[in-house]
Amino acid sequence: MTNTTDILKVEIDGPVATLTMNRPGKRNAMCDELLEQIDTFFAAPPEGVRVVIMTGTEGHYCSGLDLSEHVARDAEGTMRHSRNWHRVMDQIQFSGLPVISAMFGAVIGGGLEMAASTHVRIAEPGTIFQLPEGMRGIFVGGGATVRIGRIIGADRMCEMMLTGRKYNTEEGLALGLTHYAVGEGEALPLACKLAAKIAKNASLSNYMMIQAISRINDMSKADGLFTESLCAAVSQTSRDAEEGLKAFLEKRAPEFR
């Protein structure tokens, strides 16, 4: 099944939806319309979709905010625009669906902020990770200080922004900006393979991992451990847990809801 708009292609193959950002000639730079299309998908994913892959076209993932379409805003308008980005990035991270990024070329600025809101990241050779906002006289506004800062650390992120430093695929792997470094043309095939594997998990388990782990990381040790116990209690008393144990004892693959 394919649902295509001019700037976002949505292809559904069984339980996996692939969203392809499609702004050729713009290195898939983010505009308000593209952000709105992504928001619309995650706000009401098609029934039966269990995993999402996000990628780009023409050799790039996303080069960030389209500065050629910059709209002059006052302080309040800029704040509200930033807060809308935060809302959409939260929608990606916490919709309940695991999201995989298949990355190549530019993963810059807002593109890196979006990738950091996804749960599994795969990068091909030639991928460039960069936060160039300081070179443009501006500051990040799509969640980088929280998400990227927690991946690479505040100190390293500060240096990255001050200098406009670019990290390549292997450096990104070492820093945690990507989880997999693959060969040319291999990001999307691996994303599809991992998506099929993740789709076979119990949906409740996937949901718990997405919703709980990053939040527990924000909590005190005691609060985090208690929340972990609550998640364990909910998941381990579910029908899927019964099926998982039964399948293990019967030496077969589980068939989750």
CA-CA distance, 134 to 114, in Å (whole number)?
Answer: 18
Per the residue annotation, which of 33, 36, 76, 113 is the catalytic one? 113
Residue with tokens 């809801």: 257
Per the residue annotation, which of 133, 159, 242, 250 is the catalytic one? 133
On the CB side of 158, CA atoms within 13 Å amount to 3
**Could you tell me how many helices (H) and strands (E) the chain has, helices first?**
10, 10
Residue 113 bears catalytic tag: yes
Our CA dihedral for 36, 102, 83, 81, rounded to 10 degrees, sits at -50
**203: closest CA among 35, 54, 47, 1?**
47
Residue 133 bears catalytic tag: yes
On the CB side of 10, CA atoms within 13 Å amount to 16
Residue with tokens 């980005």: 85
CA-CA distance, 234 to 212, in Å (whole number)?
Answer: 12
Reported residue count of the chain is: 257
- Helix 154-163 to helix 144-152 angle (10° resolution) is 110
DSSP 180: E
Catalytic positions, written as ranges: 113, 133
